[in-house]
Structure formats: C-alpha cells, structure tokens
Amino acid sequence: MRDAIKRRLSFSWRRTSNGGETHSSPPAAPRAKRYLRHALIGAGTLAGAVAVAAVSGYIAVDRLGAPDLAQVNQLSTTVLDRNGHLLRAFTTQSGRWRLPVEASDVDQRYLAMLMAFEDKRFYEHGGIDMRSLARAAVQLVENRRIVSGASTLTMQVARLIEGRYERSGGAKLRQIVGALQLEHHLNKRQILSLYLRLAPFGGNIEGVRAASLAYFGKEPRRLSIGEAALLVALPQSPEWRRPDRNPRAARVARDRVLQRATEEGVITEAEARRAALEPVPIGRRAFPKLAPHLAEAEVMAQPKETVHLLTIDRGVQRALEALAEEQTKLLGRKLSAAILAVDHTTGEVIAHVGSAGYLDDARAGAIDMVNAMRSPGSTLKPFIYGLAFEAGLAHPETLIEDRPVRYGSYAPKNFDEDFHGTVTIRDALAQSLNIPAVKVLSAVGPGKLAGRFRKIGVEPAFPDKTVPTLAMALGGVGLTLHDVTTLYAGLARGGDVVPLVHRRADVADAAKALLHGKQAERKRLLSPLAAWYVSDILKDAPPPVNAKAGRFAYKTGTSYGYRDAWAVGYDGKYTVAVWVGRPDGASTPGLSGRVAAAPILFDAFARLGDKRTPLSGPPSGALRVTGSELPPPLKRFREGGIADVAQGPFLEPRVLISFPPDRAEVETETGDQLLLKASGGVLPLTWLVNGAPITSDPRARQVVWQPDGNGFVRLSVVDAKGRVDRVTVRLKGSEGVVTMAGEEQKR
C-alpha cells in the first residue's frame, strides 16, 4: 500500500540554473486529472485526502500569486560597526527580536543538523515531501495514532508566515498550499533564510541569530555542537523548551537532536557525548548595547533605514565604555564621563562614549555628554598661542611676563594663585598659566579666535549671545566635546581641519569625491608652522602620576567652579578627548583635568594599542633656536601687537607693508625674486613669511625674498616696538596650481 501511494503521488521536479530547486511548469489538464484520479484511489485514508489537497493546491498555486511577505520582512533595526559587527539592535514595532540573517551567517554544523532533524530532503522536494507524507499517513492508519510527522521546512515557513499555530487537518492543508506557493516563487536559499529569520525560540525571540545572542551571547557564525543542537530543538516547542524557564525540557530536546544527528552521520558518537555534557543556558542575555547614544541618534535621524553602518570600532568602543565606567566609580557617585576617539587622518569616529553608564540614572547616563555644551576650561590656550605664532607675534621661546594685570574690571589669576615672573611662551603653555594666555589673547583678539573657529565649522556659544571676550582664554565660552575634538584633530593634522564623520556612507562618499577630483575645500585652523610649534610644546607636557611622557601631545583643562575636567591628546593617527563632570553642571570641589581626566586619557590611548604613531616633523621655516638667538622683536612679547597703535603728531607712524598690497595677485615665474617693501615703524624690522622669519637687512625697509612656489602666502613685518602689519597675497604662476599653506590643490 505504501509503495503504491508513493508511486501515485510522485511529482516531477527540475533544477534551476541558480542552483535552487523549483517545480516544473504546471501540468496540463489531462495530466492533472490523472493525478487526481490516482489520489482518489487512496481517498479512504488520510493520505489520500492530503494528496487530493496537494494536487489541487499545485494546480491552483499560480492563481494565488506570490506570498505576502510584508509582515515577515519587518526586521529589527540594527546598528553595525565598521567591520559589520553588531553594536545595537532594536525590537520590531510588534516588540519582537527578529534580526536579519542569511545561511552564510550561521554555523554550517547547525544547518546540517537542522536538515537531518527537520527535513533531510529539503533540496530535493518541491515543498511537500511525498515520501514522508505517505509514510506518515500509512503509519497513522496502521497504528491509529501519529507516529511521525511530514512537515517540511517549507511548510513550517508557510505556517510562520500565516501566523496561526493551530493543529488541525485544515491548518495542514493550508500549509501544503502555502509551501507550494513559496516553492513556486522563491528559491531554496530564500526559503531557508525565511526559516532562519522567523523560527520561534521562546518569548519574543524569533530567528536563529536573535536566539544565539539571547541564549549564548554571541553571533551564530561559530557554535558548539551542543549549542547548534539546542537551536535546532527549540522551535518545535519554543515555550515549553525555553532554557530560561524549563532547562530540563531543553536538555532532553537537545539530546534528541544529537542522537538523530549521530544516526544521520552528521556528527560522530564521540562528538555527541561531549556535546551532551555542555551546560544548557538557564537565562537570557541582554542584547548588545554599544555606543547607545550614537546608535539612538542615528535611528532617530534615519527612521526608515533598518541597517545603520557606522565607523565605530566595536572593540575600541567596548574598551572605552568599560574605562569610563571603571574610572568614574572611583571619582564620585554622581560624576559621569564622555570619551570621543577619532582617526584624524580620515576624520572617522572610532569610539563615542556618551556617558559612564547609559542605564545609570544616578549619573544621568542617558544624556549624551559628547554633544552637551560645556565650558572648555584651558583647552583653548593652544589655539591662542597658535594664532600668535601664525601672526609673527611670538615664538615658543619668546619671553612673556606672568605678573598681575588688569583689563578694566577683569583681573585674571593663575590656577595656583601665584605669579611666576618672566617665563617663555613654551613654559606658559606647558604649565597652563592663565595670565600669559590672557595677554596673548588680548593681542590676538578674542573676536579673531572665535572667527577662526567659525570658519572651520565650530560655533562657540557665548552667554546671552554676547561678543567674544578675554574670558575665552580661561573657558568663558560654550563648546561640546565634539567641537573640542574637531579642533585638536585639526591641530594634529598640521592645522588642516577634517570633518568628523561616524557614518560609513559619508566616508565612502568622501573617497568617491576624492577619486573624481571633487575634494571638499580645505578648512585651515592654523598654519602648518604654528600648528607644529604648538604640538612641539604639548608633546612635552608633564604626564599624570605613573604615566610615561612624550608618547603623544596633550592638554588638560578645568572650568570655572570645578564643573568640568578635560584632557585632549593626539599622536600621528588618533585624537582622543575626555570630559569628566556632573551632567547637571553642579560643582565638584577638587575636580581638575590633570587629576580626573588625564589618567583616563592616558589609559584610553593604551587601550588603542601599545604602538603610537609619531607626530609629524617640523615644516620648512621652523625656527628652532634659544631665546637669545631670536630676532629682537620676538625675544619679548609685547601686548597690543595686532591692535592698531594710536597715532599722533609726535608719535612714530605705524609700520605698514607698502608692497605687495593686501589680497594682491602677483605673477611670478620659477626662480623669480619678490621685493617686499615697508614704511613707517621703528628699525630694525623683522620680516616673516607664513610665520617664519626670513633673512633681511635690519637697517633697511625692504627685502628681496625668494618664493619656493606658487599660491597664497602671509607676509608680516614687525618693527622694534613689536608693532605688526600683515598682508595675504597670491603668487600666480603658469602651471595653474594654488598652494595653500604649503599644500597643493587644483584650482
């Protein structure tokens, strides 16, 4: 009887060109009638009834059209790192964990055991395994009870798509028709992917990837034999066999899968015995929640995207999140920390730690302190000195007075409440003295500092929208950790600012634009020479206790009232910025950048790797001399270097560059010399090109200069009283290349 049914219910199948399995064209009406007549011979049995439904479904499958996969294609939104590793996942709108997964993402031993246990002829049948169906029907008639099932993986997928889990003859018939429909419109790879995505594993967990993360805490790409067997067993009775609720039932079901896999030759008996000794998980693990602030912001910014690709490095992110949590526990109960790490060679953000603990309510962990507006303390001092170096007002070895000074009602004081007398600019910056920084900012102009920031895309915030003041030197301005990182990344790049990006698509777009010669216009924070002078000072800044100096350049800062502690550092590849404080802005007595933030910064660099990329060497024109060897105007800093000097009938006229005029275009050929002329001022005069002194006759008001290329140059002249005039000119040659601060760009 069994053989007769098998012969009568056999279908014809063909292999498709893409390697999948699909049935042949629907049979003609006479052939269908022959199938139907043969099926009716066994209609007195359950097998005959099912066969009738199968043939009828096969005839009608074209009329049904493609299966509706809209609901099952609703996946959990996932956020991935630069290497495709999962950073964060979100449930579907219905509250289910249903992560995208393909067969290539799953351990092949799991797939082999799945086929051996559920559907070993999956790649041979067309949705209905007639041999298994006939066998099950015959066993049912002979034994008057269900001895074995006949449900294929395709039929199970049809049931999962339907979303109805009743056990009845009608439900089985619907599954048969649904299986035929799936096989008619999808290939085997697509059907298997649907099963891997939709199979239930207990609670709101759907799909093998979500189950592997929930029960084992890892992706299903590498599973032990015991883990693979458990994942095969759970979908048959997901609620009863849930390991977190009934580990005994889960173990029994797993061992049954191991036994079947051994019988089918998928694993050896020795492997099965070892797998049976593996413990069954007794609880669910939390899904990954790395870079939670950035992940949530991305999902909110692009709600229609289901997969978000970031530049974050998962390993670095995990290490720095742990660092922030560990260190803040030692510092205080309500203190939080934020860390931003970037590869400044490309601008890619590799770690974004918004707080010391996303779920820590005591530390207001849900607030992203990377983008919170705070006072930067002394972290802006390097840029103040950088502008002075660029303007020819100072050199690292220039002497400056650290003595009491007053600007109207404003009288700055040093952090240590002391005065250090005559110091060099190098020492003033290395020791973060306040008074010299305010003096230099007075000469440079706070408006110029703020304007330079705005020029590169960093918008400083001032109280009640007031104008910039000298208080900027000590943190009297609002900036975010992201802003400060952008500034220091530009410093690390020799003054050339690159936008910080965290989306992989943005990196790809930038690379594509560069390939097609559409590089974005460069934004210059400082000249290469000024940036190098600053870096040369910061690399020798004294390190925190038990830390090694000289491995990277760094600066600390502490805001007024001990509300914010900062530390920012960079080597030749990475820039890392750290903020420590209370998110509510409350004061923390004793909090300082050197004590609270600097140790985190040094530890963060250690977690980036033991090897440090060296900082770039000095550019051409760098003046590496002692203070006594400096040109007279640079030996001692004089305030008011950029501000206009009052004119009067009995005062010397201010020094002015009479040729070339400001913003002029001067045609030059290779080897040509350019005559620079000045008027007014007190001899001797010192000439500088892009901040670097050039050889000149101190008794003359003109000098012959040999350009080293075409492009934009900044010319400065300083008289004996420290008064300065500057112009920017463009040297235009025949080759059509513009050089901006020593770097070439196509016009």
Q: What is the DSSP letter of 19?
A: S
Residue 218: its pLDDT value, please?
Answer: 96
The string of pLDDT tens digits covering residues 200-222 is 999 999 999 999 999 999 999 99
Location of structure tokens 């250690």: 606
The mean-pLDDT minimum among 222-231, 311-320, 550-559, 698-707 falls in 698-707
What is the average per-residue pLDDT within 597-601? 97
CATH number of the 644-746 domain: 2.60.40.10
Enumerate residues 6+ apart whose C-beta is below 8 A from 56.
Answer: 36
The string of pLDDT tens digits covering residues 293-311 is 999 999 999 999 999 999 9
What is the average per-residue pLDDT within 187-192? 94
* DSSP per position, 309-362: EB---HHHHHHHHHHHHHHHHHH-SS-EEEEEEEETTTTEEEEEE-SS-TT-GG
What SS3 state is found at 363?
helix
Residue 630: its pLDDT value, please?
Answer: 86
* DSSP per position, 595-606: IIIHHHHHHHHH
The string of pLDDT tens digits covering residues 572-594 is 999 999 999 999 999 999 999 99
CA dihedral sign of residues 104, 107, 111, 114:
negative
The 78-80 sheet, strands edge to edge: 86-89, 78-80, 307-309
Query: Diameter of the chain by CA atoms?
Result: 127
Q: Residue 5 above 80 pLDDT?
A: no
Cα–Cα dist 448/528, whole Å: 18
Rg, the chain, Cα only: 37
Residue 139: its pLDDT value, please?
Answer: 54
| Cα→Cα distances 63→26, 28, 60, Å | 11, 15, 5
CATH number of the 202-288 domain: 1.10.3810.10
Enumerate residues 6+ apart whose C-beta is below 8 A from 25.
Answer: none
Q: Is there a contact between 112 and 119 (Cβ–Cβ < 8 Å)?
A: no
Cα–Cα dist 95/205, whole Å: 9
What is the average per-residue pLDDT within 122-135? 77
User: Is 644-746 the same fold as 202-288?
Assistant: no
What would the two tokens of residue 692 be?
A: 């670097």
Of 551, 660, 544, nearest in space to 608 by CA? 551
pLDDT band at 48 (very low <50, low <70, confident <90, very high): low
What is the average per-residue pLDDT within 537-546? 90
pTM score:
0.78
Residue 647: its pLDDT value, please?
Answer: 33
pLDDT band at 641 (very low <50, low <70, confident <90, very high): very low
The mean-pLDDT minimum among 563-567, 649-653, 687-691, 738-742 falls in 738-742
Q: Residue 178 above 70 pLDDT?
A: yes
Q: Residue 342 above 80 pLDDT?
A: yes
The string of pLDDT tens digits covering residues 263-280 is 999 999 999 999 999 999
CB atoms within 10 A of CB 683: 13
Cα–Cα dist 686/491, whole Å: 27
pLDDT band at 26 (very low <50, low <70, confident <90, very high): very low
What is the average per-residue pLDDT within 151-169? 81
Q: pLDDT over 90 for what percent of the chain? A: 57
Q: Of residues 680 and 257, which shows the higher confidence score?
A: 257
Q: Residue 373 above 70 pLDDT?
A: yes
Residue 135: its pLDDT value, please?
Answer: 62
Residue 518: its pLDDT value, please?
Answer: 55
Cα–Cα dist 31/12, whole Å: 12
Location of structure tokens 């609620």: 239
The mean-pLDDT minimum among 1-15, 322-336, 467-481, 714-728 falls in 1-15
Residue 526: its pLDDT value, please?
Answer: 95
What is the average per-residue pLDDT within 214-234? 97
Residue 138: its pLDDT value, please?
Answer: 60
Residue 407: its pLDDT value, please?
Answer: 86
Residue 237: its pLDDT value, please?
Answer: 93
Location of structure tokens 């730690």: 353
Residue 406: its pLDDT value, please?
Answer: 87
Q: Of residues 172 and 449, which shows the higher confidence score?
A: 449
Q: Residue 459 above 70 pLDDT?
A: yes
What would the two tokens of residue 730 be?
A: 């463009």
Q: pLDDT over 70 for what percent of the chain? A: 82
Residue 384: its pLDDT value, please?
Answer: 98
The string of pLDDT tens digits covering residues 503-541 is 999 887 766 665 555 555 678 999 999 999 999 999 999
Cα–Cα dist 391/478, whole Å: 26
Q: Of residues 355 and 172, which shows the higher confidence score?
A: 355
CB atoms within 10 A of CB 427: 18
CATH classification of 1-71+123-198, choosing from 1.10.10, 3.30.110, 1.10.3810, 3.40.50?
1.10.3810
For residue 138, what is the enclosing H or E element?
Answer: helix 130-143
Pairing type for strands 564-570 and 553-558 reads antiparallel
As annotated, the active-site residues are 118, 378
Q: Of residues 511 and 42, which shows the higher confidence score?
A: 511
What is the average per-residue pLDDT within 276-288? 95
What is the average per-residue pLDDT within 431-443? 95
Residue 710: its pLDDT value, please?
Answer: 85
What is the average per-residue pLDDT within 677-689? 86
**Average pLDDT, whole number, for the chain?**
84
Residue 472: its pLDDT value, please?
Answer: 94
Residue 523: its pLDDT value, please?
Answer: 87
Q: Of residues 416 and 50, which shows the higher confidence score?
A: 416
The mean-pLDDT minimum among 122-136, 447-461, 481-495, 671-685 falls in 122-136
What is the average per-residue pLDDT within 681-704? 86
Domain boundaries, the chain: 1-71+123-198, 202-288, 644-746
What is the average per-residue pLDDT within 697-707? 85
pLDDT band at 672 (very low <50, low <70, confident <90, very high): confident
Q: Residue 59 above 80 pLDDT?
A: no
Residue type, 491: L
Residue 681: its pLDDT value, please?
Answer: 81
